Amino acid sequence: MHVINRRSAYNPSVPEPVLVCGHSTGGVIALQLAVRHPELVAGLVLVDTGAHMHGHGDVDAILQRVKDNWGEDLRAAVLDRSFRDPLDDEARAGFLEWAAAVSQQATYDVLASQRGLDLTGELAGVTQPAIVVHGRYDRARPPEQGRELASSLPNAEFRLVETGHSPVYEAPAAVAAAVRDVLARTR
């Protein structure tokens, strides 16, 4: 999750609401922030995420694999299913190196905490401008879930991009455009 903040020039100790950007799990965290503390959020860019884990086909299987068989094979399988096209060897190796340092327990806890979460009933109260960006070829979370999320938010737009689960990496210009567009709507 990323936050873009402009502190008030008149009182720097009082933060202005910020643009919050979240991808996948980070998107759910961004939504939780907007639901629980709307005064802190000026706008949202939500990438390949949803208001719930229903239909997120492999979360239970991944949780079981994280618990029982944590290792490079699992991290590689999750990584590889996250992109429309295979990564080049150098990029793939870099992502796997980064993932190897992530704690097994932290990975399990984050996924488990979201398994039963459903913010659907609270989305009507999220009135900040939002853009939901979703990859057409996302194998983890189908585009229909992105459309459902956007249609449940009163001030949201849905954008489908030609990527897998990782538009931030696969289509950075499209995600940057969404950030610029939400910022323009918050001014």
Residue 29: CATH number of its domain: 3.40.50.1820
105, 121: one domain:
no
Radius of gyration in angstroms for the set of CA atoms belonging to the chain, rounded to a whole number: 17
Note the pLDDT of residue 60: 80
73, 165: one domain:
no
- What is the C-alpha separation between 106 and 60, in angstroms, rounded? 16
173, 132: one domain:
yes
Mean model confidence pLDDT for the chain: 90
Whether 152 has a pLDDT exceeding 60, the answer reads yes
Rounded to an integer, the average pLDDT of 137-144 is 92
In percent, how much of the chain has pLDDT > 90? Answer: 73
Contact criterion met (CB below 8 Å) for 120 and 113:
no
168, 146: one domain:
yes
Whether 149 has a pLDDT exceeding 50, the answer reads yes
Domain range for 29: 2-55+117-186
79, 170: one domain:
no
Q: How would you classify residue 2: left for phi > 0, otherwise alpha for psi between -120 and 50, otherwise beta?
A: beta
pLDDT digits (tens, 9 = 90+) for 34-76: 999 999 999 999 999 999 887 665 678 878 889 998 999 999 9
Q: Which residues contact 42 (CB under 8 A, 6 or more apart)?
A: 16, 17, 18, 19, 128, 129, 186
Whether 14 has a pLDDT exceeding 90, the answer reads no
